[in-house]
Amino acid sequence: MTKIKLADSKVTELKQVCAKFDNQKNELINILHGAQELFGYLPAEVQEIIAQQLSVDVAHVYGVVTFYSFFSMSPKGEHPISVCMGTACYVRGAEKVLDEFKRILNVKIGETTPDGKFSVSSLRCVGACGLAPVVTVGSKVYGRVTIEEVQQIINEYQ
Amino acid sequence: MAKVKTLEDLKRMRESLQSELSLRENSDTPEKLVQIKVSMATCGIASGAKETMSFIMEELYRRKIDAVVTQTGCMGYCHSEPTIEVQLPGADPVVYGNVKKERAQLIIDQHIIAGKLVDGIIPGIYSTPDNK
Amino acid sequence: MAKFKNHILVCAGTGCRASEGEEIVQELKTAVSQNQLENEVQVVRTGCFGFCEKGPIVKMIPDNTFYTQVKTADAKEIVEEHIIKGRQVQRLLYENPEDATRISDSKHMNFYKKQIRIALRNCGFINPENINEYVARDGYTALGKVITEMTPEDCIDIIKQSGLRGRGGGGFPTGLKWEITNKVESAEKYVVCNADEGDPGAFMDRSILEGDPHSVLEAMAICGYCIEASVGLIYIRAEYPLAIQRLKIAIEQARDLGVIGDNIFGTEFSFDVEIRYGAGAFVCGEETSLIQSMEGLRGEPTVKPPFPSVKGYMGKPTNVNNVETFANVPVIINKGAAWFASIGTEKSKGTKVFALAGKINNVGLIEVPMGTTLREVIFDIGGGIKDGRKFKSVQTGGPSGGCLTEKHLDVPIDYDNLLESGSMMGSGGMIVMDEDDCMVSVAKFYLDFTVEESCGKCAPCRIGNKRLYEILDKITKGKAQFEDLDNLRNLANVIKDTSLCGLGQTSPNPVLSTMDNFPEEYLAHVHQGKCPAKQCKALKEYVINAETCVGCTLCSRVCPVNAITGDKKQPHLINAQLCIKCGACFAKCKFGAISIQ
Amino acid sequence: MSQIKLTIDNKTVQVAQGTSIVDAAKQIGVNIPTLCHMKLEHVGYENKPGGCRICVVELEGRKNLAPACKTICTEGMQVSTHTLRVINARRTVMELILSDHPAECLTCVKSGKCDLQTRAQELGIREIPYQGEQSKYKEDKSPAIIRDMDKCIMCRRCEMMCKQVQTVGCLSAINRGFESVVAPAFEMDLEKSTCTYCGQCVAVCPTGALSEIDNTRKVIAALVNPNKTVIVQTAPAVRAALGEEFGLEPGTLVTGKMVSALKKIGFDKVFDTDFAADLTIMEEGTELLNRLQKHLAGDKNVKLPILTSCCPGWVNFFETNYPDMLDVPSTAKSPQQMFGAIAKTYLAEQMKLKREDLVVVSVMPCLAKKYESQRKEFQVNGNPDVDLSITTRELSQMIKGANLNFNELHNEEFDNPMGESTGAGVIFANTGGVIEAAVRTAYELHTQKTLEKVDFHELRGFEGIRSATVDFDGFPLKIGIAHGLGHARQLLNEVKAGTSTFHAIEIMACPGGCIGGAGQPYHHGDTNILKQRAAAIYREDAGKAIRKSHQNPFIIKLYDEFLGEPCGEKAHKLLHTHYFDKKPKVK
């Protein structure tokens, strides 16, 4: 694993996040949310600091991080693309839309394009089933997406 | 906000809030008291409810129509988001689906100003504990 | 300002449109103009009334007359009789099936009772970010009544008598749960609201929290009073930012108003609410996993007993209910147990919210009394199947539920009936499928979900679901043997029988229910190597019909692997060995000459 | 405690409230098969995640099957343990587990001792109908432990040992679903983690997922090398457990047979680590007295309590977790390393051998000893004081490999000079033994009186934390004892907080002390075996003519001829060490 260097100011902020929850270990998940908001992802170094602040084993923190799909250990793309794979979207063809994103960007689920621009993931139900199939790019939601529209959506961010 | 200390406080507060609302509803100066609710749940927002709401607010302001525009939760018509409810004083509320800019414009022109209904009304077909 | 005296609403929903809805609009307009009523009467198209079997529907405003099964020929009569003479057209009025009387005012039709909004009563009515609007609609009066006029036991009694059962899936009687937690001695207890709505295709809890957060807060406080807890925790999916934001605003406003906090309504009772976030784990909808997760641990379930009511969050007695369950509570207090119990079936009282989605016209959030049939939900409220396709199956209960079929359409929906039919209530996702959906693939889709969401703690769920998925995958690829079907069933039964928590105990339901209800589809895959719904890529074969092919060469040019040969203006041929079944030729052919076998 | 009546397979049974179905069934001779479940009765921990689902039984009135290990009996409960439904479920679940397990039994280190293999045999699994993807992980070899996680069945015993019993916490379940496995943080190699190599994870692993580094091939290579003289030392705990590998009752002492076997295998000399244990007492006991006397004289720079340092897992633990307290433990090396240091100097000299030509092998009940022997500070010009450390289990493998009928061997004696030991050296194997040995010597050195009562029963036992006050001729010497690192942590935290009232503390990383070491024959959860081994050790002590370390004639001679004074300059150079800050650095 490549070591990354965290800026001191960010480390201070991270410690403040922990302190906000009184360094309580039962607040670990809330703290991880805060940390991911801060860094965009949860690299090993961040988990080590959290473990230290909360006086828990880093293996425990890692065990929790890898349990929940919301937490990521690799940075997301500049424009994170998520394809909803809830049932409603699935029966309306979300899998084909996802395949098209993977094909055009040449990445697998959870991966980021080499230029760091796009990452592709699937998620479970954004609750916009009326618009199925649904794709989100960042916070923007695209509804009733067809395979033909995939390239257009990508073009918007090129 | 002052805290309610007793159940009686709450009940008094409810009564005054209700009469305020009914005053609003029973007024006969429609220019001033048109009520519009925009369904602003996740699916509505994803379909553009925010844009619709700000468009309606701007348009009503531009035309100097005093209306109360509020957000509300999911009306349940996911198939037709964004959804809005328009209520002219003394009239039953009318729900419209698929209200993007153009339809919002049409609803303002025809329904709110001209008092005509616009195609694409979503019929309210349920009861609630209060009207059952 | 022109003001119309009369409006004629004509349903332009898919179903009514199919039975000449549009022509009726035109005829009505013609009749209106023939009578020079253009400035008085307006004809308006509406969305689906959800009464498609009696369509086309025409509704008269302002008197609410409801005409059913209207024909184009009736347009003239409606205008001339109803509008001009003020007489209802008797023969078009809806006939009450119970006593054959004609009902003139739609408000008296039973049909209007198909949907009763109890849990959703305020959704779409009030501004969720303004506590005053909630208070104006009786908000927090139930809490006030309970804590100033009742003992915890009185209140629990009301909930018990109402017959309210948990809306999160299992259907455990809510009042009984409260009673058990109430009876456990402990200085510290917790009320937990399960808002970790993980079912793909279900969003009723999100809608309630986004549209009416105070109803949940009020109910949690009532529950807190009943079980003697002073802390409430809402465990909510992090994927629901808007619901979280509205909840936060609601908590702030409720604190400011003093309806949560210390000494509520001047009593000894204090109660406050905190939010805890989920982080993307379906299993955390299971209450013991949820509690582990709230304690900052991996969301692995623990063996019950002990139940959370006895030993829950931080080892203390904890009452866990889901959002929809809570949303029913204030109404029950205000309107009484008997009122609530009068709605629904013998063992399932009240209403249930469903997120209706899939291949259906009116995708949406609906709330119907228990006992409503699937047919009413799908064909009336839902407006039938999209694009005029044929209904095939409806999946309820998400990954824990099953796929029901035609023969279940008239089953009244309640906990026990759904269970008996091989599905379950679940949290309320209802996905409708048509003839284009392959049921083996649907089962595989759910298993894919379960494999990804299994926590890994117990062997049958961790490995068994993976193996189930692999067998299903073999079937969809035409590589399965007959014995695989036996293995599939045995495995599914053992996983149900031995798994640690609700996830594994129900995860084989999509497999078992599709095997039971669509056996011929499994057999077609295994024996004939065919997918009847033509969905399984590996089993598809694209064939060019020599008679309809004009030899335009378009297909051979789009084929990415040069599998199509043929001379210009001569019928083309697909080489099945080379074909990768991408479907490009099928999509391009303008003459419908390519078919999927 | 109130009693509960229930029926199991139609037989009525009465049990105390809180009894599990598994335990209740045992009372009527019904052995419900279990796999992930492990009850360490005398350690006070029970692993029962209810995860493997092998122990499922049918309960009247319950929809699905219940795990017998985790389900508590209730009044009137009707349990069926072997209906067709139950048997089919158990077999199917076992088939599933095996479908994600490499079928390498023939070459697996655990074959024949594997709980999974045994259960599968009992259930009569002959084929696995469910084939599919198998979990694949990179093999992780540390200096002491091998992790081959392809064989992990997620019983979570190792995690429980590491997290709860030992509080080391370097292992955790990670990922979820089919991908889930137990691993160190970030799936780093064990060597880079905070692992202490105590090996308790290996001791409880039901399969071959966790095992020790096998040094037997290297030992055999040394034995057949004509240029090398190979000597061996055997730790005290080995003799009380080795017999179990040959079907003897736990607690059978096999000292003489073991010596005989080692000689037949071809070791040039067979010595006893007990000798070095006596040496340890001379050094550690003297250090204790020195510190104590200075402390009593009011020297504020002297740290008390003194902590024992003969357990390498424990040393790793405090270097990683208490780097600010490195001056608290005794600086005395462990017996294994003292032996090595003397062997490669004094003994090599006597045998007229160059250091490089003498190979020192140790037989230990321990995995951490493998790591300890490789520590840089225990090497001279790259040549380690102890070349190879093998476990009791590895020794039994070598004996079997040498075609020896172990049970028929005649007793033989250790070689001299480093084979002579006292009863004090023997009891190092048990929790409380080191400190008892130290007290026997320190008492006489401090009071200049003869200690009449040699057995200190107050220091013996199995409770995780014990304390006793020994009367040192008017001075009450306060002693603390902890075994299991979790218990050690409790005492350490008191020392750190300054609230500890002890003068001396003995710590052993493994529950029970070395007799419960991770290199011993597998106990499969039966902690009575540990008690039987401990009793055997005390029997050996009681049977010894000399029971105080300072009376060992060869020890006296060693100081006279070679070392000089205990804690003197030469002794300090050879027999003492220093510690390192190994806490991972985090911003």
The verdict on D396 and D538 lying in the same domain is no
Per-residue pLDDT at D425: 95
The verdict on D310 and D452 lying in the same domain is yes
Give me the domains of chain B, ranges plus CATH numbers.
Answer: 29-122 (3.40.30.10)
Average of per-residue pLDDT across C530-553 = 90
Q: Which of A18, A25, A29, A64 to mutate to test the interface with C (most CBs of C within 10 A)?
A: A29
Q: How far is CA B63 from CA B50, B105, B107, D265, in A?
A: 20, 12, 14, 105
Q: In 3-state terms, what secondary structure has residue C248?
A: helix
**Percent helix, strand and coil across chain A, each rounded to 5?**
50, 10, 40
Letter for the amino acid at C390? K
Contact call for A70 and C239, based on CB within 8 A:
yes
With beta carbons under 8 A apart, name residues in chain D contacting A1: 186, 188
Question: From the list C50, C127, C206, which residue is nearest B71 (CB)?
Answer: C127
- For residue A19, the distance in angstroms to the closest alpha carbon of chain B comes to 31
The verdict on D427 and D535 lying in the same domain is yes
The residue assigned the tokens 């969809």 is C476
Give the neighbours of chain D: at least 3 Cβ pairs within 8 Å: A, C
Peptide bond into C62 cis (omega under 30): yes
Quote the tokens at residue D383: 């040549």
With beta carbons under 8 A apart, name residues in chain C contacting A69: 279-281, 452
The verdict on C190 and C330 lying in the same domain is yes
Helix or strand holding residue C335 (H, E): helix C323-335
DSSP classification of residue B114: T
Q: How far apart are CA C66 and CA C82, in angstroms?
A: 11
Contact call for D67 and C303, based on CB within 8 A:
yes
Q: How far apart are CA C296 and CA C281, in angstroms?
A: 13
Encode burial over A55-87: b for 16+ CB neighbours within 10 A, e otherwise.
ebbbbbbbbbbbbbbbbbbebbbebbbbbbbbb
The verdict on D563 and D435 lying in the same domain is yes
Least confident residue range of B20-34, C301-315, C455-469, D387-401: B20-34
Per-residue pLDDT at D190: 96
Identify the closest residue of chain D to C305 by CA–CA distance. Answer: D71
Per-residue pLDDT at B21: 62
Contact call for A126 and B46, based on CB within 8 A:
yes
Contact present, D and B (at least 3 Cβ pairs less than 8 Å): no
Contact call for B127 and C113, based on CB within 8 A:
yes
Confidence of residue C106 (pLDDT cuts 50, 70, 90): low
Q: How far apart are CA B15 and CA B21, in angstroms?
A: 10
Q: How far apart are CA C404 and CA C418, in angstroms?
A: 9
Least confident residue range of A24-28, B13-17, D398-402: B13-17
Residue C107 C-beta-side C-alpha neighbours within 13 Å: 7
- Ranges in chain D, pLDDT < 50: none
The verdict on C215 and C264 lying in the same domain is yes
Contact call for C496 and D64, based on CB within 8 A:
yes
Total domains in chain C come to 5
Among D65, D93, D122, the domain-final residue is D122
Instruction: Render B30-80 in DSSP notation, one character per residue.
Output: TTT-EEEEEE-SHHHHHTTHHHHHHHHHHHHHHTT--EEEEEE---S-GGG
Contact call for B72 and C124, based on CB within 8 A:
yes
Q: Are C373 and C408 in contact (CB under 8 A)?
A: no
Contact call for D133 and C466, based on CB within 8 A:
yes
Letter for the amino acid at C51? F
With beta carbons under 8 A apart, name residues in chain A contacting D175: 66-67
- The CATH number that applies at residue C551 is 3.30.70.20
What is the count of residue pairs from C and D with beta carbons less than 8 Å apart?
106
**Percent helix, strand and coil across chain B, each rounded to 5?**
40, 15, 40
Q: In 3-state terms, what secondary structure has residue C10?
A: strand
With beta carbons under 8 A apart, name residues in chain A contacting B45: 141
What is the count of residue pairs from A and B with beta carbons less than 8 Å apart?
29
Kindly tell me if the per-residue pLDDT of C353 is higher than 70: yes
Give the neighbours of chain B: at least 3 Cβ pairs within 8 Å: A, C
Per-residue pLDDT at B25: 52
Chain A residues whose C-beta sits inside 8 Å of any chain C C-beta: 24-30, 32-33, 63-64, 67-71, 85-88, 90-92, 123-130, 132
Identify the closest residue of chain D to C451 by CA–CA distance. Answer: D177
The verdict on D261 and D364 lying in the same domain is yes
* D174 at A interface, C-beta within 8 A: yes
The verdict on D425 and D526 lying in the same domain is yes
Q: Which domain holds residue D192?
A: 140-212
Identify the closest residue of chain D to C474 by CA–CA distance. Answer: D132
Quote the tokens at residue C41: 């009467």
Question: From the list A30, A68, A91, which residue is nearest C280 (CB)?
Answer: A68
Per-residue pLDDT at A46: 96
CA dihedral (C349, C235, C209, A128) in degrees, to 10, reads -100
pLDDT above 70 covers a percentage of chain A that reads: 97
Within-domain flag for D19: yes
Within-domain flag for C1: no
The verdict on C421 and C548 lying in the same domain is no
Identify the closest residue of chain D to A4 by CA–CA distance. Answer: D587
CA dihedral (C7, C8, C12, C13) in degrees, to 10, reads 90
The verdict on D496 and D544 lying in the same domain is yes
- The CATH number that applies at residue C20 is 3.40.30.10
Instruction: Tell me phi and psi for residue A22, to 5 degrees.
Output: 55, 25
Within-domain flag for C456: yes
Q: Which amino acids of D are annotated catalytic?
A: 284, 287, 310, 330, 369, 372, 377, 514
The verdict on D395 and D463 lying in the same domain is no
Per-residue pLDDT at B30: 44
Contact call for C494 and D89, based on CB within 8 A:
yes
Q: How far is CA D192 from CA D125, D141, D147, D189, D319, in A?
A: 39, 11, 13, 5, 14
- For residue C120, the distance in angstroms to the closest alpha carbon of chain A comes to 16
Q: Which of B78, B83, B98, B122 to mutate to test the interface with A (most CBs of A within 10 A)?
A: B78
- The CATH number that applies at residue D171 is 3.30.70.20
Confidence of residue B31 (pLDDT cuts 50, 70, 90): very low
Kindly tell me if the per-residue pLDDT of C107 is higher than 80: no
With beta carbons under 8 A apart, name residues in chain D contacting A51: 586
Q: In 3-state terms, what secondary structure has residue C59?
A: strand
- The CATH number that applies at residue C139 is 3.40.50.11540
Q: Tell whether ipTM is more than 0.95.
A: no
Kindly tell me if the per-residue pLDDT of A147 is higher than 80: yes
With beta carbons under 8 A apart, name residues in chain C contacting D178: 451, 454, 456, 462-463, 465-466
Within-domain flag for C459: yes
The verdict on C267 and C197 lying in the same domain is yes
The verdict on D324 and D356 lying in the same domain is no
pTM of the predicted structure, to 2 decimals = 0.91
Strand partners, D53: none
Identify the closest residue of chain B to A134 by CA–CA distance. Answer: B46
Within-domain flag for C419: yes
Kindly tell me if the per-residue pLDDT of B88 is higher than 90: no
- For residue B15, the distance in angstroms to the closest alpha carbon of chain A comes to 36
| φ/ψ bin of D228: left (φ > 0), alpha (ψ from -120 to 50), beta (otherwise) | beta
Kindly tell me if the per-residue pLDDT of B131 is higher than 60: no
Q: Which domain holds residue C395?
A: 351-434
Per-residue pLDDT at C2: 44
With beta carbons under 8 A apart, name residues in chain D contacting C281: 176
- The CATH number that applies at residue D237 is 3.40.50.1780
The verdict on C450 and C430 lying in the same domain is no
User: Each residue of C267-305: pLDDT tens digit?
Assistant: 999 999 999 999 989 999 999 999 999 999 999 999 999
> Between these two residues, B24 and D356, which has the higher pLDDT value?
D356
The verdict on D322 and D340 lying in the same domain is no
DSSP classification of residue D113: S
Average of per-residue pLDDT across C523-527 = 95
With beta carbons under 8 A apart, name residues in chain A contacting C398: 87
Letter for the amino acid at C308? P
The mean pLDDT value of chain C amounts to 90
Quote the tokens at residue D556: 């006296």
The residue assigned the tokens 């807060």 is C217
pLDDT above 90 covers a percentage of chain C that reads: 60
The verdict on C266 and C369 lying in the same domain is no
CATH of domain A79-156: 3.40.30.10
Kindly tell me if the per-residue pLDDT of B62 is higher than 70: yes
User: Each residue of D336-356: pLDDT tens digit?
Assistant: 999 999 999 999 999 999 999
Alpha helices in D28-133 (DSSP H): 84-99, 115-122
Per-residue pLDDT at B132: 41
- The CATH number that applies at residue D491 is 3.40.950.10
With beta carbons under 8 A apart, name residues in chain C contacting B35: none
- For residue A66, the distance in angstroms to the closest alpha carbon of chain D comes to 5
Contact call for C498 and D96, based on CB within 8 A:
no
Question: From the list A26, A30, A132, which residue is nearest C277 (CB)?
Answer: A30
Strand D475-483, strand C102-103: pairing: unpaired
Among C337, C368, C386, the domain-final residue is C337
The verdict on D162 and D144 lying in the same domain is yes
CA C333 from chain centre, in angstroms, equals 26
Q: Are D181 and D137 in contact (CB under 8 A)?
A: yes
* A123 at B interface, C-beta within 8 A: no
Strand A118-123, strand A79-84: pairing: parallel
The verdict on C37 and C87 lying in the same domain is yes
List CB contacts of C400: < 8 A, sequence separation 6 or more.
Answer: C169, C424, C426, C502, C503, C506, C507, C509
Q: How far apart are CA C69 and CA C58, in angstroms?
A: 8
Q: How far is CA D506 from CA D293, D488, D502, D513, in A?
A: 19, 9, 10, 10
> Angle, to 10 degrees, between the axis of helix D392-401 and the axis of helix D216-224?
50
Encode burial over D18-51: b for 16+ CB neighbours within 10 A, e otherwise.
ebbbbbbbbeeebebbbbbbbbbebbebebbbbb
Q: How far apart are CA C468 and CA C457, in angstroms?
A: 17
The verdict on D288 and D402 lying in the same domain is no
- The CATH number that applies at residue C504 is 1.20.1440.230
Kindly tell me if the per-residue pLDDT of A80 is higher than 70: yes
Per-residue pLDDT at C113: 65
Contact call for B78 and A128, based on CB within 8 A:
yes
* D234 at A interface, C-beta within 8 A: no
> Between these two residues, A42 and C96, which has the higher pLDDT value?
A42
Helix or strand holding residue C321 (H, E): strand C318-322
Among C80, C112, C144, the domain-final residue is C112
Among C528, C552, C587, the domain-final residue is C528
With beta carbons under 8 A apart, name residues in chain A contacting C394: none
> Angle, to 10 degrees, between the axis of helix A147-156 and the axis of helix A94-105?
50
Within-domain flag for D511: yes
Cβ burial, residue D422 (10 Å; 0-12/13-18/19+) = buried
Confidence of residue C168 (pLDDT cuts 50, 70, 90): confident
Q: Are D251 and D536 in contact (CB under 8 A)?
A: yes
